[in-house]
Amino acid sequence: MTRKIRLGILFGGKSAEHEVSLQSAKNVIEAVDREKYDMVLITINKQGQWHLADTSNFLLAPDNPQLIKLAPSDDKLGIVLGDEDHLFIRLKNKAPIDSLDVIFPVLHGPYGEDGTIQGLLKVANVPFVGASVLGSAVGMDKDVMKRLLKDAGVPIARFVTLSRDEGEHPGFQELRDRLGLPLFIKPANLGSSVGVHKVSAEEQFEPALHDAFQFDTKILVEEFIQGREIECSVLGNENPIASVPGEILPQHEFYSYEAKYIDEKGALLEIPANLPADVVTAIQNMAVRSFRALCCEGMARVDLFLRGREEIIINEINTIPGFTRISMYPKLWEASGISYGELIDRLVTLAIERHDREKTLKTSYV
């Protein structure tokens, strides 16, 4: 009998997207094939403490996005680097946790999607799902992401980056003259539309800056793109493939946090998007091109605008996209012929393949 894969599901985190991570993890855990995997649930609370969670009771209010939270646990975990057989120990009795074959970080935002967790797992020599350190870091920082995409010749919206530490920043009128109206203001290192504001008038400008700066020391001011909102999922390592594109039809003023995760009627999803075949191919090619330009691996969701019939403008890439029941990443793959369960299998396989490939590299010159 084939041994089950010991799969660690890592979720929660110190990010403002903590609750989104809980929703995503819930769906991943429900979809994991118990015949193939032994699951170990590892949670990170909002204070950054790591715990071993009970697979039968790890969430409170799991079906309410506004109240969902981690169930209390006193089973704190410590991390032991350099011991390939036991990465984690239970702090209450110093008992080691048997080694994990692969870890799936179902984390969103800083301290999870930005390369920090990936760096830890890489040092620990544990295979993990998704982009590695570099791809995760540049995928999280929208300022760096957009500069790299621009350098690669990928079309992006015009933007200005503001730093909280730079003192005076361009005012509303200057940015309006450079970028037009409305403006979009967003934290550079956050997702799920947290801290994002659509600014159409001067009196909205400073409050939007203030709110965005609460989540990051660097923010972006972007031009508004009048176009269709399209998303495309990418899967793979050296030879990534793209899903059919889907279209988002927001029922709110824009695709806000509430529209994504709270209000089930906050956006209509058209999957696949109603697009000509040649435009579909162009979008898929641009999604893969962006994925490669940003050194991504495993998975990503590429968000873009379609202006007119065929002008594609890349908005951003998400290296750990949402896995909730209304999230586009798994839904696009389902429409492309890959079920939720099979998608998890492929992501785990890609993680192990990359880890095995990296093990063949020399670590000593002598």
CATH number at residue 34: 3.40.50.20
Q: CA 19 to CA 134: how far, in whole Å? A: 25
Mean pLDDT of 188-200: 84
128 by DSSP, 3-state: which?
Answer: strand
For 329, counting Cβ atoms within 10 Å of its Cβ (0-12 exposed, 13-18 middle, 19+ buried), the class is buried
The tens digit of pLDDT for each residue in 314-337 reads: 999 999 999 987 789 999 999 999
Mean pLDDT of 211-235: 95
In a domain, residue 51? The reply is yes
Q: Are residues 146 and 181 in the same domain?
A: no
Q: What is the pLDDT of residue 255?
A: 52
Mean pLDDT of 173-192: 91
Q: CA 164 to CA 44: how far, in whole Å? A: 28
> With bands split at pLDDT 50, 70 and 90, how would you rate the model's confidence at 365?
confident
CATH number at residue 275: 3.30.470.20
Q: Are residues 12 and 105 in the same domain?
A: yes
> With bands split at pLDDT 50, 70 and 90, how would you rate the model's confidence at 167?
confident
Q: Are residues 17 and 42 in the same domain?
A: yes
Q: Are residues 10 and 106 in the same domain?
A: yes
Compute the half-sphere exposure of residue 96: CA atoms within 13 Å on the CB side of its CA. 10
In a domain, residue 19? The reply is yes
The number of distinct structural domains making up the chain is 3
With beta carbons less than 8 A apart as the criterion, state whether 72 and 54 touch: no
The tens digit of pLDDT for each residue in 353-362 reads: 999 999 999 8
Q: Are residues 233 and 328 in the same domain?
A: yes
Domain, as residue range, for 351: 139-155+226-357
**Quick one: angle between helices 116-123 and 133-140, nearest 10?**
170
Look up residue 162 and give its two tokens. 């503001």
Q: Are residues 149 and 288 in the same domain?
A: yes
Q: CA 246 to CA 327: how far, in whole Å? A: 11
In a domain, residue 364? The reply is no
In a domain, residue 134? The reply is no
**Residue bearing the bigger pLDDT, 61 or 168:** 61
Q: Look over the chain and give the mean of its residue pLDDT values, rounded to a whole number.
A: 92
In a domain, residue 30? The reply is yes
Q: What is the pLDDT of residue 297?
A: 98
The last residue of one of the domains, among 172, 196, 223, is 223
How far does CA 111 lie from the centroid of its chain? 12
Q: What is the pLDDT of residue 291?
A: 98
Q: H-type helices in 170-306, by residue range?
A: 172-179, 202-213, 257, 277-293
**Residue bearing the bigger pLDDT, 253 or 351:** 351
Q: Are residues 234 and 151 in the same domain?
A: yes
The last residue of one of the domains, among 176, 194, 223, is 223
Q: What is the pLDDT of residue 141?
A: 96
Q: What is the pLDDT of residue 226?
A: 93
The tens digit of pLDDT for each residue in 243-301 reads: 999 999 877 665 555 555 455 666 789 999 999 999 999 999 999 999 999 999 999 99
Q: CA 265 to CA 273: how far, in whole Å? A: 18
Measuring CA to CA, which residue among 79, 93, 114, 111 is closest to residue 8? 79
Compute the half-sphere exposure of residue 202: CA atoms within 13 Å on the CB side of its CA. 6
The pLDDT > 70 percentage for the chain reads: 95
Q: Are residues 180 and 326 in the same domain?
A: no
The conformation of residue 261, written as its DSSP 8-state character, comes to: I
CATH number at residue 210: 3.30.1490.20
In a domain, residue 202? The reply is yes
Q: Are residues 295 and 319 in the same domain?
A: yes
For 276, counting Cβ atoms within 10 Å of its Cβ (0-12 exposed, 13-18 middle, 19+ buried), the class is exposed
Q: Are residues 67 and 143 in the same domain?
A: no
Q: What is the pLDDT of residue 267?
A: 77
Q: Are residues 83 and 201 in the same domain?
A: no
Q: Are residues 87 and 146 in the same domain?
A: no
In a domain, residue 241? The reply is yes
In a domain, residue 366? The reply is no
The last residue of one of the domains, among 169, 193, 223, is 223
pTM of the full predicted structure?
0.93
pLDDT for residue 2 is more than 90: no
Distances (CA, A) of 278 to 281, 284, 296, 309, 311: 5, 10, 25, 11, 12
Q: What is the pLDDT of residue 85?
A: 78
